[in-house]
Amino acid sequence: MTLEPVLARVDQDLDASVNRLLALLRIPSISTDPAYKGECDAAADWLVEDLRSIGFQADKRPTPGHPMVVGHADGDGPHVLFYGHYDVQPVDPLNLWDRDPFDPQLEDTPNGKVIRGRGSSDDKGQLMTFVEACRAWKAVHGTLPCKITMFFEGEEESGSPSLIPFMKENAAELTTDIALICDTGLYDDDTPAIITQLRGLLGEELTITGPDKDLHSGMYGGLAMNPARVLARVIASLHDETGRITVPGFYDSVPDLSNELAAAWDDLRFDEKAFLGEVGLSIPAGETGRRPLEMIWSRPTCEVNGMTSGYTGDGFKTVLPSKATAKISFRLVGQQDPDQIRKNFRKMVEEMIPADCSVEWRDHGAGPAGHMTTTHPAFDQARQALSDEWPNAAAFVGCGGSIPIAGYFKDILNMDAMLIGFGKDDDQIHSPNEKYDLSSFHKGIRSWVRILEKMTG
């Protein structure tokens, strides 16, 4: 099938493609808030109708939470599955938005036009790049280049509680030759990226209790143990002077960076000073002697995400608090076992708790790191296709974040997954004034057209 007429159709239809995306963005499908359950249903219905309009046999599948959308279209050649999610993050704090987050618009900025609104980048805009690529292909050729399954989730932003059961119950229907995931970003404005490794995630919350009530620090201070002090000691002990994490056995199954990957990442010429400068910092932290990209893509971490204890309101209160709480996350790599790390971490902390204090734990989930097998021919085909569309050649890169769905495709369906996205670091996903560059949307559609052509040509 001829590629150029499809790309031309994408260009000609861009305004209509943007308007379709804006219509989807107007639906406030916030999955974490029960008040928006009806809106999540509405977003699923919208996608079902849109897929049907381009020839997919699509329907909305119920789950104990928000529905899944599944669509199938026949074609010759390989069978690919495309995954995205239609739910979005809450918009708080609303007062920091420059416009209604669910009244999306095209805006002019010093760096070009952007699509402004909640979900524009994460993940509705990214999801629609693939749908629009299929629409253009169908309009030109009357059929799709291969057999395609669409799989859209409505709970990604709320922990995906229904995802694993749904995948297991529908494994035969969802298993294809390869999965495509569009929930990531470009390496930089001119360099597309294919994610080949993802860090896992372990979340822990601990609450240390000392006295059975808050105490007057003048009467009890010095004699009574302060749980905030215990917590501070625990947190201070988590890293040594070189930045290494001190949890026993933590570095078991952590691989060293291969020479091949080290050379490839060095070629990307990552500027850590500029990267940190964008958030008001200048000095790299982490493990001594490690490359900056290595630290954010292929080394494990332990970070304190929040701490609360005692009086935190305005003014001052001389209180000795009864409790102290911290939320701590670990990003995992290689074959690190999150369950074993949880056991080792809890044992380490419990051994530091004084005899008349106690610690309670709250589990915030766990998942191992993900690794993509780039020997599948689709990886080189996609890299060539992306390189044809963008100014710079596509790069195989790591990702410091965690996208569990990639691992689920491998573990549950025994499928390789390829993660390709067109977001930018300044898209402000999960934050006020989220945006998606119009160029990301446009070139994202063109990129998927090229990838489908390479995979089926």
pLDDT tens column, 72-104: 999 888 999 999 999 999 999 999 999 999 999
At residue 1, the pLDDT reads 59
The CB-based long-range contact list for 94-100 (8 Å cut-off, 24+ gap) reads 94/432, 96/432, 96/433, 97/432, 97/433, 98/432, 98/433
Number of CB atoms found within 10 A of residue 411's CB: 14
Are 173 and 313 part of one and the same domain? no
* Confidence tier at 370 by pLDDT (50, 70, 90): confident
* Confidence tier at 402 by pLDDT (50, 70, 90): confident
Asked if the structure places residue 289 within a domain, the reply is no
Cα separation values, 17 from 31, 131, 328, Å: 25, 10, 42
Rounded to an integer, the average pLDDT of 37-65 is 98
Q: What kind and span of H or E run contains 456?
A: helix 438-456
Q: How many domains does the chain have?
A: 2
Asked if the structure places residue 290 within a domain, the reply is no
Are 346 and 439 part of one and the same domain? no
* Confidence tier at 165 by pLDDT (50, 70, 90): very high
Look at 103 and 197; give whichever has higher pLDDT. Answer: 103
> In terms of Cα–Cα distance, which of 370, 360, 359 is closest to 331?
370
Instruction: Tell which of 336, 367, 398 closes a domain.
Output: 367
Structure tokens at 185: 């970003």
Are 362 and 402 part of one and the same domain? no
Asked if the structure places residue 277 within a domain, the reply is no
Are 106 and 162 part of one and the same domain? yes
Pairing of strands 193-198, 395-399: parallel
* Confidence tier at 401 by pLDDT (50, 70, 90): confident
Q: Is the pLDDT of residue 374 over 90?
A: no
Q: Is the pLDDT of residue 452 over 70?
A: yes
Are 116 and 223 part of one and the same domain? no
Q: Is the pLDDT of residue 300 over 80?
A: yes
Find the DSSP H helices in 315-374: 338-350
302, β-bridge pairs: 330
> In terms of Cα–Cα distance, which of 22, 38, 18 is closest to 30?
38
180, β-bridge pairs: 82, 418
Structure tokens at 189: 């404005």
What is the distance between the alpha carbons of residues 338 and 355, in angstroms, rounded to a whole number? 28
**Domain CATH number, residue 23:** 3.40.630.10
Whether the full predicted model's pTM is greater than 0.75, yes or no, is yes
Rounded to an integer, the average pLDDT of 320-341 is 96
Q: Is the pLDDT of residue 451 over 90?
A: yes
Rounded to an integer, the average pLDDT of 433-456 is 97
Asked if the structure places residue 283 within a domain, the reply is no
Asked if the structure places residue 276 within a domain, the reply is no
Are 391 and 344 part of one and the same domain? no
**Domain CATH number, residue 359:** 3.30.70.360
Are 362 and 424 part of one and the same domain? no
Q: Are 10 and 453 in contact (CB under 8 A)?
A: no
Of the candidate ranges 35-39, 166-170, 195-199, 315-319, the one whose mean pLDDT is the lowest: 195-199
Asked if the structure places residue 328 within a domain, the reply is yes
Asked if the structure places residue 71 within a domain, the reply is yes
Are 355 and 390 part of one and the same domain? no
Q: Is the pLDDT of residue 304 over 80?
A: yes
Rounded to an integer, the average pLDDT of 230-258 is 97
At residue 367, the pLDDT reads 86
**φ, ψ of residue 410 in degrees (nearest 5):** -75, -50
Q: Are 20 and 129 in contact (CB under 8 A)?
A: no
Asked if the structure places residue 56 within a domain, the reply is yes
What is the distance between the alpha carbons of residues 372 and 393, in angstroms, rounded to a whole number? 19
pLDDT tens column, 110-132: 999 999 999 999 999 999 999 99
- Mean pLDDT, the chain, rounded, equals 96
Instruction: Tell which of 312, 341, 367 closes a domain.
Output: 367
What's the domain range around 127?
Answer: 4-198+369-456
Q: Percent of the chain beyond pLDDT 70?
A: 100
Are 169 and 213 part of one and the same domain? no
Structure tokens at 205: 């919350």
* Confidence tier at 328 by pLDDT (50, 70, 90): very high
Rounded to an integer, the average pLDDT of 253-275 is 92
